A = this chain, B = another copy of it.
Amino acid sequence: MEDLASPEPKPQPDYRELLERWGEISDLGRARALLAWDERTMMPASGAAGRAEQIATLARVRHERLTDDRLWELLERLAESTRDPDTIEAANVRAARRDCGRARLVPADLRAEMARSASRGETAWAAARPESNLAAFLPHLERNIELRRRYAACFEPTSHPYDPLLDDFEPGMPTSEARRLLTELREGLVPLVATLAEDPGAPEDSIWLGRNRFETDAQKRLASELLRLLPLPPGGWRLDPTLHPFATSIASGDIRITTRYDPDDLSFAFFSALHEAGHGIYEAGVPAESRRTPIGHPASLAFHESQSRLWENWVGRSRPFLEQALPLLRREFGDRFADLDAERLYRAANRIRPSLIRVDADEVTYNLHVALRFELELELFEGSLQAADLAEAWNARTEEYLGIAVPDHAHGVMQDVHWAAGSFGYFPTYTLGNIIAAQLWEAAAAELGDPDRLIAERDLETLRAWLAKRVHSHGARYLPAELAERALGGPPDPGSLLRRLSRKYGELYSL
């Protein structure tokens, strides 16, 4: 718009063609997302073979369109003719060039081989994990690492061999920065965890547990009611059971949240539903009119995780929220929660306990699980650690950071699917999300006043609107580093998170 009066008119037909082409690329991606959601929530078991083909076809067709030479030529012309870098148009051209450029650097053969190896690795892992059969899994792990090395090499020159892997999830963040942030956080957390673990005044949290104690239908009603407390888009979301909880969005007004109902542990569905809803609130905040454009999606996995953690931990584990949840708990599980007061529920929701399994970890120790994975990944790709020595390194570091011994590989190096599926560079974004959430909370408090007051007043919409303005509404218009400047007022920094955890758990425990 700003260029209308300038001597050279904008190449409007080129830009229109870009939006048309990207609309198709986006639609193919969203269709694939729906097929994946359906596979994990609705599909009859015997649909699996057909579904694998359908998803592979959609991915292939989308990739073909993304790497089409005509699209690349179009983007080259647009990059040359776009002069004002601050427009939405320029951001769309930049984002599209980034995505296309990266897609074009990787040969189709290598991509296919990675997909095959990931699929085989996941199958082998699923079979080997129950018996902690590391020997059966190791060749797949080695193959995945080798293929990811070749993948990373496609992006040379790079400052660090891990950079291209991290860049897939956290665009533009150098490995060195992720290392600095996670190391600083880890150094602050290890002594805190050690102190909390030995504290005799630790909160009592057995209220959440009980063998076959929590009936699924009652949990479903509870989770639905909980999500009704959050500012999800009215008429724009649904909640379904699955094996491994996730959230996905088929459109801004079509948010799919999933959770799992563990009959022995009510806290799993309670907090994972809030977590996935947080992802959903972010997706719903990306403006519908930008959805099919290059910037029409969240900025990065770390920003995504910052939203899920914020709604799960900062809102969901707060005193005022749990006070509102208590009547819902009493309605479904009356006999158990009748005599519990809100303060005891708050304490029960905030017990810190070093444990073996990442996905069951509390908000403090979780980051140590991530730190050890991230550090091991770096060593693998720097070449200072071999896959054959990974388990030993894992066990030693678990002892060092969490103070516990690993009894078997199923509870150790084989617990996560990520490496089995060839996914390296993903783990650090979990902790980066926690770091960003803490900074967002501080920034929100500075502008809106104490967010706990908003929660108490059932005015979560004010908090959501603030997050939407600062983060959601931009989609991927800015790279994460620039979005951090705009939303947090500076780069990611673990200081806020460390302050928050020390203060919160200092008060809760007898420190």
Contacts and interface: CB of A to CB of B under 8 A. Distances in A.
Main secondary structure of the interface of A (DSSP, over half): helix
Interface residues of A, number: 40
A26 to B, nearest CB: 9
A254 B46 contact: yes
A235 interface: yes
A250 interface: yes
Contact of A44 (B32, B34, B57, B254): B254
B251 A49 contact: yes
Nearest to A292: B53
A416 to B, nearest CB: 29
A291 interface: yes
Contacts of A47: 236, 250-251, 253-254
A233 B46 contact: yes
Interface string A18-39: 0000011001101110110010
A465 interface: no
Interface in A252-275: 252-255
Interface string A142-162: 000000000000000000000
A288 interface: yes
B57 A27 contact: yes
A44 B236 contact: yes
A238 B44 contact: yes
Contacts of A28: 57-58, 61
A35 B44 contact: no
Given A57-B27, A61-B61, A255-B44, A50 B238 contact: no
A57 B53 CA distance: 19
Contact of A50 (B24, B44, B254): B254
A104 B255 CA distance: 38
Nearest to A53: B27
Contacts of A49: 251, 253, 288
Given A46-B233, A46-B253, A47-B236, A54 B27 contact: yes
Nearest to A240: B42
Contact of A31 (B35, B42, B291): B35
A27 B253 CA distance: 26
A58 B26 CA distance: 11
A58 B60 CA distance: 13
A50 B54 CA distance: 20
A28 to B, nearest CB: 7
Contacts of A288: 49-50
A237 interface: yes
A43 B292 contact: no
Contacts of A238: 42, 44
Contacts of A253: 44-47, 49-50
Contacts of A235: 44-46
Nearest to A232: B44
Contacts of A58: 27-28, 31
B31 A54 contact: yes
Interface-central residue, A24, A32, A56, A251, by most chain B CB under 10 Å: A251
A46 B250 contact: no
Contact of A34 (B34, B45, B60, B236): B34
14 contacts: A28-B58, A30-B54, A34-B34, A34-B35, A38-B38, A44-B255, A46-B236, A47-B253, A50-B250, A50-B253, A50-B288, A51-B254, A54-B250, A61-B61
